Amino acid sequence: MTLYIKNMVCPRCILAVEQTLAKLTDQPFKVSLGEVALEKALPEKDLQNFREGLQTLGFELLDDQRQKQIEKIKNLLVTLIQPGELEEHFSLSAYLGKALNKEYTNISRLFSEVEGMTIEQYFILLKMEKVKEWLAYDELTLSEIAWKLGYSSTAHLSAQFKKMTGLTPSHFKKTGNSRRTPLDKIV
């Protein structure tokens, strides 16, 4: 049995879900971003307790099939962005089509209908949050950030950053990280 969970974006989220589930069951389970794999279904009372425990942590157990698919897309993209190792000519459509074993046009249409933006727009928002994170930590140069996120040039990254945030990367760096958005709050 697989349960789908909304708003999981990092390894700490996985740990929090594991701890919540471990309090409810002794059966083996595996938690990954957005999913919990169980050998058998939880009893209804335990499932309700799990749902409530997730809500206190800011997560949501998904029942709707469309929402499950959207969450899977988001989790794939977050997992892709986190290490920051995108190739310059990375194909979002090829990646998602292969990962989900579905036609990209169908994936894209569903995402746009449910979220009110394209997958590409969402992906850019994720990349911009990663740029903000790295700028705030001041460990990488802008050209290193551009290279890690698959931008063709620092100028392209800077232009997109300014378009999305209204600030240049250097101005953002001076103001600090007060304008960052948690990944689970994008869209």
Residue pLDDT, tens place only, 106-158: 999 999 998 999 999 999 999 999 999 899 888 899 999 999 999 989 999 99
* 77, burial (CB in 10 Å: exposed 0-12, middle 13-18, buried 19+): buried
CA distances from 184 to 74, 75, 91, 171 (A): 9, 10, 23, 25
Closest alpha carbon to 70 in 32, 94, 18, 34: 34
Query: pTM here?
Result: 0.76
Instruction: Quickly state the pLDDT bin for 10 (edges 50, 70, 90).
Output: confident
State yes or no: pLDDT of 56 exceeds 90: yes
